[in-house]
Amino acid sequence: MFIKLCILTIISILLRWCISLNSYSGAGKAPMFGDYEAQRHWMEITINLPSSEWYKNTTNNDLLYWGLDYPPLTAYHSYLCGLLSRYVNPDWVALNKSRGFESEQHKLFMRYSVIIADLVVFIPAVLFYWISHWRLLKSEKLGGVLTMLLYPGLILIDHGHFQYNSVSLGAALLGMACIVRNQDLWAAILFCLALNYKQMELYHALPFFSYLLGSCFTSSPTKGYLKFSMLVLVVLITFGVCWLPFLQDLNTAQAVVKRLFPFGRGLYEDKVANVWCSLSVMIKLKKLLPVDKLVYLCLGSTAVLLLPSSIHLLVKPTVENFKLALINSSLVFFLFSFQVHEKSVLLAAMPVMAIFPVHQFGSTWFLLLSTFSMLPLLIKDGLFSPYVSLTCLFFIASIAYMKQTGSKQYQKVITIVLFTASMLGVAVLTVVAKFSKPPQHLPDMFAMLISVYSCGHFIVFLFYFHYLQFFQTSAISPLTQSPKKLSAKKIN
């Protein structure tokens, strides 16, 4: 088992390195370039300016040019990378002189920084998460690790497009592992760290809140009150430590909050596979409603659709309900919330991977669709060949694993027919999007087709995962019970 995990980890690192040899977001595309330049620019800002100016529009910090819009932990990460960058080559982070800096040496430095983030946070989190499942067979743990380390969506976005999603997702995954291990205070701390790295972790916030609060209610009054008090305390301390440099001045704290929630940027980014973008084919909500009305529409619809899963988890705070609630919450946010990026689907993909050993076929299907939904972005970044290669590798590895373990879902004829039809649609749209030219009066037609097609699948998956949470969670309970709970069950 140990040797297999080592081999799988090495393969995943090699794949990441191979993808990093390709193009990245905004390469050579002045004047704004892309996410690669955004991350470099944040290093430039944090290393040269005091923290009180990081989130403010000043003479030396033009917020219209990739202004910092992630929480404090991202800023601290950028600062550390900036220190090392300045040590290697000061020109890489020279204030107001390094915009759009591109060189082979700098690209190597930036790519290494993402791989290091994976080695320090994400890969250990994956291993710790699956080791924490006491009742899983070794083959099932290996399958879970394989799914998380070889998932093409995260590899393509972090090591191709260029981002550090593995840090926030890794911290959230560590929090999930602590939930499995019945270490709820550590779970709260780790999730707060994830949220303070990327505000998109709000997609996972309500399930963490509902589970932890529900676990207080299921305890005796004295223990429940004590646990609730401790949870509040560790959350306040964690946020206080993360935000300490910005809490000394009210204006500075307000500037950070405004940057984290930029409502003026629009309903969604580019062509994203959510409900609002899909509806725009027939109804132009951006033209019919002002921004404030759109915010209320998104807030209301998201809140209403979050309630069933969250209330169910609050009443029945089990680990299996928690995992499925994470998926349902993420999908609701992705499909209905305001200012959604196509890359935000990774937040739904992570908890889907977490239930892979039990729901192998459904998880594989969703993960393939989630990667496909980002195809227009990947084509734009020159990552089509890596997309095809990684997706095929992941598909083959997943199907081979399901055959070996004898997945019941894989053996159902109706499931195979639906899956085949779905993948044929993916294949056709992939070829068309890459090799065909859209009509001149509809330049975004293929991107829109991919968004609508993916959105339709995600809506079906939303119903599917809600069904699992409400009616079939008992199927996975033996895999998530700690030895303490199992021994108590045997005594009874």
Degrees, nearest 5: CA angle 426-431-434: 120
Q: Are 37 and 26 in contact (CB under 8 A)?
A: yes
Dump pLDDT digits (tens) for 159-216: 999 999 999 999 999 999 999 999 999 999 999 999 999 999 999 999 999 999 999 9
**Is 218 inside a domain boundary?**
yes
Is residue 35, in this structure, part of any structural domain at all? no
In a domain, 59, yes or no: no
> Does pLDDT of 482 surpass 50?
no
Residue 55 or 31, more confident: 55
Lowest mean pLDDT among 103-112, 378-387, 480-489: 480-489
Is the pLDDT score of 490 beyond 50? no
Contact assessment for residue 85 and residue 43, using Cβ atoms and an 8 Å cutoff = yes
Return the pLDDT at 219: 85
Asked if residue 485 has pLDDT above 50, the reply is: no
Q: Is the pLDDT of residue 476 over 50?
A: no
Residue 481 pLDDT > 60? no
pLDDT value of position 479: 43
Q: Which of 406, 318, 333, 395 is nearest to 147 (CA)?
A: 395
Q: Considering the domain boundaries, does residue 55 fall inside one?
A: no
| Model pLDDT, residue 473 | 57
Alpha helices in 316-412 (DSSP H): 319-336, 346-354, 360-372, 375-380, 384-405
CB 310 within 8 A of CB 207: yes
pLDDT at 410: 60
Cα(19)–Cα(196) distance, integer angstroms: 28
**pTM reported for the whole predicted model:** 0.93
In a domain, 348, yes or no: yes
Following CA atoms 200, 206, 212, 214 in sequence, which dihedral angle do they give, to the nearest 10 degrees? -170
Give mean pLDDT, residues 464-483: 67
Tokens 């890359």 -> residue: 343
What range defines the domain where residue 453 resides? 2-27+102-479
pLDDT, the chain, mean: 92
Report phi then psi at 243, rounded to 5. Answer: -100, 0
Q: Which two tokens stand for residue 67?
A: 């202004």
pLDDT per residue as tens digits for the range 394-413: 999 999 888 887 666 666 78
Between 284 and 175, name the one with better pLDDT.
Answer: 175
What would the mean pLDDT of 248-277 be, rounded to a whole number? 87
Residue-level pLDDT at 286: 82
Q: Is the pLDDT of residue 120 over 50?
A: yes
Residues 6+ apart with CB under 8 A from 409: 359, 360, 361, 362, 402, 415
Tokens (6 digits) for 246? 């910005």
| Per-residue pLDDT tens digits for 312-351 | 999 999 999 999 999 999 999 999 999 899 999 999 999 9
Chain centre to alpha carbon of residue 376? 18
Residue 437 DSSP symbol:
P
Average pLDDT over residues 116-142: 94
CA distance 474 to 15: 36
Q: Report helix, strand and coil shares of the chain as percent, to nearest 5.
A: 75, 0, 25
What pLDDT is attached to residue 292?
87
Q: Residue 181's CB: how many other CB atoms inside 10 A? A: 20
Count of structural domains within the chain: 1
CA–CA distances in Å: residue 202 to residues 196, 260, 478: 10, 12, 29
**259 in any annotated domain:** yes
Q: Is the pLDDT of residue 484 over 50?
A: no
- Please indicate whether residue 271 or residue 187 has the higher confidence score (pLDDT): 187
Tell me the mean pLDDT in the region 270-287. 90
Structure confidence at residue 489 as a pLDDT band (50, 70, 90): very low
Per-residue confidence band for 263, with pLDDT thresholds at 50, 70 and 90: confident
Does residue 56 lie within any of the structural domains?
A: no
Question: In this predicted model, which residue has the larger pLDDT, 1 or 433?
Answer: 433
In a domain, 64, yes or no: no
Higher pLDDT, 265 or 82: 82
Q: What is the pLDDT of residues 211-243, one digit of tens each?
A: 999 999 988 899 999 999 999 999 999 999 999
Q: Read off φ and ψ for residue 422, nearest 5 degrees.
A: -65, -45
